[in-house]
Amino acid sequence: MTITVKFFASLREQIGTNQLKLTLHTPLTMEQVWTSACPNTPLPEYLLMALNKEYVQADAIVKEGDEVAFFPPVTGG
Amino acid sequence: MTITVKFFASLREQIGTNQLKLTLHTPLTMEQVWTSACPNTPLPEYLLMALNKEYVQADAIVKEGDEVAFFPPVTGG
Amino acid sequence: MKIAVTDQPLNPWKELANHEALLKDQAGKWGGLATFIGTMRDYNEGETIDALWLEHYPGMTENYLQRLAHTAHQRWEIVDTLILHRVGQIYPADTIVIIGVWSAHRAPAFEACRYLIEELKHRAPFWKQETCSQGCRWVTTNTPPYSAP
Amino acid sequence: MKIAVTDQPLNPWKELANHEALLKDQAGKWGGLATFIGTMRDYNEGETIDALWLEHYPGMTENYLQRLAHTAHQRWEIVDTLILHRVGQIYPADTIVIIGVWSAHRAPAFEACRYLIEELKHRAPFWKQETCSQGCRWVTTNTPPYSAP
């Protein structure tokens, strides 16, 4: 099963890509997706995460075709 | 000594004039000015008063050439 | 700082744009503008209102608004303030009042803007007379004093 | 209710006037419009800022703003709401955000307007990168959650 993982802002620069495709063999939590996508980077302390464009917690379950996003605290307005 | 007395809004209609000149023989308080200007009308409960275009209390002293105004609670904005 | 009372129609967008253009020297210094635009409703206390007559006390009203603006500038960190108020005969959907507060940050802009409209309604010498099917009546409900945060 | 994210310059007066024109049917139903207009300052934390790059999460950002507007409509008695936000490359004095809340009364207009800008700053997926003489840096200070009155 394939999912899309997106990174924004400083995290995009740190990871070095804005998007990658990940093939999973079993359903994972958001936190496990982070570890699969960025095996060498520990989970940042102030990380925000979204599943299919909705905020979720680290234990949310990711399924086939989902869009996952990781990003730093927001600073708009 | 002569002073000007102004009335606004519903009070102007009630008194029947927007302005009158009053000749005083001695300094009066705002409340005494009201009684001289409107001898038949008791002081309204929610009356506001201004002396030379500044809010004052009923015991403020009126002097030669002053402009006195009486009006109801305000309702602008 | 601009304060005005006028018997001419007020276009809020034009007034705000014109005033902001005067602040050109300070462009980049403010990060927030909070505005309040008061408009005539066509109803009040359950009744249809056809028109409004707005009376003021020439001289005292302007002085009072000027003092309010000064107080706001002392109390909050503000770049500039605009207060415009219509008088005379007005009709539903006409603009009655325009308040604008420019500030480096949004909190003082919001707080000063709210303070100005509340104090204006509570104490500035304006009086409204409504015209409805039953004739004319003076509005009597005064706005209570405001305690700013 | 209009929500938009755009990489084109925002003229707040034109946007507000255009949106209000769409509410023509309801003219006379609102008595107050509270707006907040956020503008790019040319300084931040004591340093001169030359430009700002504003990034967002297409799709999620618009959804999030839409949800905020819905929440405001449920919580306050509101006639209509406008939220516009700029993205991409911007320069000092450019408009970043426009919020407008039309309501029969001023209290809900003010409160909902403040709520919308605070929640937008706290949670809507936008990120600012500042360009100054020392180069580029991502802004990191997030706005704390807001408790509406």
D122 interaction partners in chain A (CB closer than 8 Å): 74
Please, where are the H alpha helices in chain C?
12-22, 60-75, 106-123
Q: Write out the residue range of the structural domain in which residue D63 sits.
A: 2-22+30-138
Minimal CA–CA distance to C123: which of B71, B6, B15?
Answer: B71
Assigned domain for B28 exists: yes
pLDDT bracket for residue C33 (50, 70, 90): very high
Cα(B69)–Cα(C12) distance, integer angstroms: 32
For residue A77, give the nearest of D57, D120, D140 by CB distance: D120
Binding partners of C (≥3 Cβ pairs within 8 A): B, D
Look at D57 and A55 and tell me if their CB atoms are within 8 Å.
no
Counted domains in chain A: 1
Q: Assign residue D116 the CATH number of its domain.
A: 3.90.1170.40
Assigned domain for A29 exists: yes
Assigned domain for C149 exists: no
Which one-letter DSSP state was computed for residue C92? T
Nearest-by-CA chain A residue for D130: A75
Between the alpha carbon of residue C87 and those of residues A48, C41, C91, C124, C129, the distances in Å are 52, 15, 11, 13, 11
Which one-letter DSSP state was computed for residue C149? -
Are B2 and B36 in contact by the 8 Å Cβ rule? The answer is no
Cα(C86)–Cα(C40) distance, integer angstroms: 11
Cα(B23)–Cα(D136) distance, integer angstroms: 76
Hey, is D89 helix, strand or coil? strand
Counted domains in chain D: 1
Cα within 13 Å of Cα(C50), Cβ side: 7
D32-54: b or e for each residue (b if 16 or more CB lie within 10 Å)?
bbbbbbbbbbbebeeeebebbbb
* pLDDT at position C132: 86
Kindly give the pairing relationship between strand D47-48 and strand C32-39. unpaired
pLDDT bracket for residue C56 (50, 70, 90): very high
Are D39 and D95 in contact by the 8 Å Cβ rule? The answer is yes
Assigned domain for A76 exists: no
Are D114 and D83 in contact by the 8 Å Cβ rule? The answer is no
* pLDDT at position B1: 87
For residue C59, give the nearest of B53, B75, B77 by CB distance: B53
Assigned domain for B77 exists: no
Are C128 and C40 in contact by the 8 Å Cβ rule? The answer is no
Assigned domain for C144 exists: no
Tell me the per-residue pLDDT of D56-103, one tens digit each, with 9 for 90 and over: 999 999 999 999 999 999 999 999 999 999 999 999 999 999 999 999
Assigned domain for A30 exists: yes
* pLDDT at position D37: 98
Cα(A68)–Cα(C8) distance, integer angstroms: 56
pLDDT bracket for residue B50 (50, 70, 90): very high
Assigned domain for A61 exists: yes
Look at D39 and C32 and tell me if their CB atoms are within 8 Å.
yes
Q: Which residue has the tokens 């605009």?
A: C82
Instruction: Extract the tokens encoding B68.
Output: 């006195």
The ipTM of this complex is 0.95
Q: Write out the residue range of the structural domain in which residue A24 sits.
A: 2-71
CA distance C31 to chain D (A): 5
Hey, is B45 helix, strand or coil? coil
Q: Assign residue A59 the CATH number of its domain.
A: 3.10.20.30
Residue C148 has pLDDT above 80, yes or no: no
Residue C146 has pLDDT above 90, yes or no: no
Please, where are the H alpha helices in chain A?
9-15, 30-37
pLDDT bracket for residue D148 (50, 70, 90): confident
* pLDDT at position C134: 84
Assigned domain for A39 exists: yes
State the DSSP H helix or E strand holding residue C44, giving kind and residue range, or none if neither.
Answer: strand C43-44
- pTM of the entire structure? 0.96
Assigned domain for D147 exists: no
Nearest-by-CA chain A residue for D97: A77
